[in-house]
């Protein structure tokens, strides 16, 4: 598959009478956004606000971050199986509003929503502080259950991102990036002298507000499957979970997976990037065994020489991570794992819940238990009511002056396993 990504650079975001992109500025009609969100009877109200890089603004509790994109040429539409009809995506041309994002936030759902600071030390730990964010503070209808609220908020974010993305359909991009992965036999024959490398993409699928969707299917219902990397750039994988904020893969992470981009950058030069195996992270041992068996089998079937494995979440999924690593290595395939750590506030505790000698090449996102103090902000988008309750917070985290002392895991994307701003897994 060959996909062109037309990057439309967004340098600013403003409210205006018409929703459009003009000279690098994203103008948004607030009423249009409110009306679109309130089409869902599960949502009582929505506040629409803007957060820009460098502002003294705090967004919390954050649920998802989504980059606006639109299909211009090729099969299907963006976010297939959820917003658009089911069709295979990943080819043709897609326009990207680079530098803009939709951020959903509001009443806490699963105690693991996060914080985005647009300035100060907290901004240094999250990639989303560098974006022009359109924020949706969503109030659920009375009596709505947690999982129903999560679904409503998720769909609201995707609908708004799709609506905003369409403003870039007829805009000339600032640059066009081209990504291509050929069918396996063609790919192998094209670079016969280079080692064949694949990417095992572990998705959070533990249920109870810990779900991820592949073409609209809850990924805990799938067996490991092979995907073209470009499918993911068109929204084939979407976040639907409330896993700890620091290592959650938001929809933005999936669309902009830096491991995939690094692999493409070295494709045909240092190695042959064959493709992706998407797998899940299960709760029951039998399911973990099945998925890790299939993952290792597919790695061998593709004739891979090396594999990068990334994890989402921590604790229970550490077992899936080590199972995948151990079984792939047993097939004679070199493996690099990408994970964050929960090593205690002093860094002296066991950092992963599972381990094996075969896991001898590890890229770390850092210790999520590290304590940090976030300074007070002049503007709050959302609410601070739940600061002491979200994962990483504790009684007394929120001070009277508005500063927050908590573990780094409260920051959205802070130690994310996909490696934003971290050592590249391909360096191994």
Contact of 243 with 104, CB cutoff 8 Å? no
Instruction: Select from 106, 109, 111, 117 the least CA-distant residue to 61.
Output: 106
For the question of residue 242 being annotated catalytic, the response is yes
Q: How far apart are the first and last CA of the chain?
A: 27
From the number of C-beta atoms within 10 Å of its C-beta (0-12, 13-18, 19+), residue 264 rates as: middle
Which residue in the list 105, 135, 242, 246 is annotated as catalytic? 242
Provide the annotated active-site residues: 242
């Amino acid at each position: 598959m060959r996909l062109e990504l037309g990057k439309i650079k967004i340098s600013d975001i403003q409210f205006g009478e018409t929703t459009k992109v003009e000279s690098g500025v994203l103008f948004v009609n607030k009423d249009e956004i409110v009306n679109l969100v309130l089409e869902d009877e599960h949502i009582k109200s929505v506040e629409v606000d803007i957060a820009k890089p460098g502002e003294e603004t705090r967004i919390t509790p954050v649920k998802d971050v989504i980059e606006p994109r639109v299909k211009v040429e090729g099969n299907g539409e963006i976010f297939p199986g959820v917003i658009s009809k089911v069709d295979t995506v990943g080819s043709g041309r897609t326009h990207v509003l680079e530098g803009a994002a939709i951020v959903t936030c509001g009443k806490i759902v699963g105690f693991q929503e996060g914080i985005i600071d647009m300035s100060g030390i907290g901004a240094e730990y999250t990639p989303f502080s560098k974006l022009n964010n359109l924020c949706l503070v969503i109030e659920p209808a009375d009596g709505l259950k947690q999982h129903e609220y999560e679904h409503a908020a998720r769909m609201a974010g995707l609908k708004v991102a799709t609506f905003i993305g369409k403003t870039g359909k007829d805009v000339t991009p600032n640059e066009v990036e081209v990504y291509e992965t050929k069918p396996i036999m063609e790919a192998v024959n094209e670079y016969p002298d280079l080692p064949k490398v694949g990417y095992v993409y572990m998705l959070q699928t533990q249920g109870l507000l810990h779900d991820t969707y592949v073409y609209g299917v809850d990924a805990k219902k799938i067996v490991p499957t092979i995907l073209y990397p470009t499918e993911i750039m068109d929204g084939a994988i979407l976040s639907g979970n409330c896993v700890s904020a620091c290592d959650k893969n938001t929809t933005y992470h999936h669309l902009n997976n830096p491991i995939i981009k690094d692999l493409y950058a070295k494709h045909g030069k240092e190695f042959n990037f064959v493709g992706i195996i998407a797998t899940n992270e299960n709760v029951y041992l039998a399911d973990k065994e099945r998925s890790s068996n299939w993952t290792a089998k597919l790695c061998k079937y593709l004739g891979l020489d090396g594999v990068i494995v990334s994890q989402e979440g921590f604790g229970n999924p550490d077992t899936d991570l080590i199972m995948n690593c151990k079984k792939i290595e047993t097939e004679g395939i070199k493996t690099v794992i990408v994970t964050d750590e929960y090593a205690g506030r002093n860094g002296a505790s066991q950092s992963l819940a599972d381990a094996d000698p075969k896991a001898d090449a590890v890229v770390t996102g850092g210790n999520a238990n590290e304590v940090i103090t976030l300074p007070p902000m002049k503007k709050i988008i959302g609410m601070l009511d739940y600061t002491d309750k979200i994962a990483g917070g504790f009684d007394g985290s929120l001070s009277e002056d508005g500063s927050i002392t908590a573990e780094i895991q409260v920051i959205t994307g802070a130690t994310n396993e996909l490696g934003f701003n971290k050592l590249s897994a391909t360096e191994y």
